[in-house]
Copies of this chain bind each other. A is one copy, B any other.
Amino acid sequence: MENEAINDLLKRNQLSVTDSRKKILDLFLKNSGALAHSDIEKKAGERFDRVTVYRTLQTFVEKGIIHTIPTADNAVLYALCKDECSSGHHYDNHVHFVCDNCNVTYCLDEVVTPEVKLPKAFKPKVIEVVVSGLCENCN
């Protein structure tokens, strides 16, 4: 479907276009929420090799195609980056939302990270905000 878009995205990042990469990217595009490593292993109709998933995710993070989301329970989640994320320099300027009920994690791209006033000696660079509660579907 968005085959062209996927190919483009990979080529733009100097990555060769391979099956697993296309399929994993497709998973992210079809899922509004964030995915855990295990989601990817499971959700793929055909299963990928664990190692391939590890390596693919790592490559995507390095290229700034996806980013990790820190969660309170320290599960490792990944989500697609917006276009502004350049290679290796992901600045997370949006809010993440984890639903306590359905457990889906959303990137609320339209909600901009608020200002935080720190003690003067601290120099902030990146601000991560993760909100949990009930999402639009479970509310």
A residues contacting B by CB (< 8 A) are: 68, 70-74, 76, 92, 95, 97, 100, 108, 110-111, 114-119, 121-136, 139
Contacts and interface: CB of A to CB of B under 8 A. Distances in A.
Q: How many copies does the complex hold?
A: 2
Contacts of A127: 129-131
Contacts of A135: 121-122
A95 B121 contact: no
B119 A136 contact: yes
A123 B139 contact: yes
B131 A126 contact: yes
B121 A132 contact: no
Nearest to A130: B128
Contact of A72 (B70, B73, B110, B116): B70
Contacts of A132: 124-126, 128
A57 B72 CA distance: 15
Contacts of A131: 116, 118, 122, 124-128
A111 B119 CA distance: 8
B72 A71 contact: no
A59 to B, nearest CB: 17
A116 B133 contact: no
A16 to B, nearest CB: 27
Contact of A129 (B68, B100, B129): B129
A116 B126 contact: no
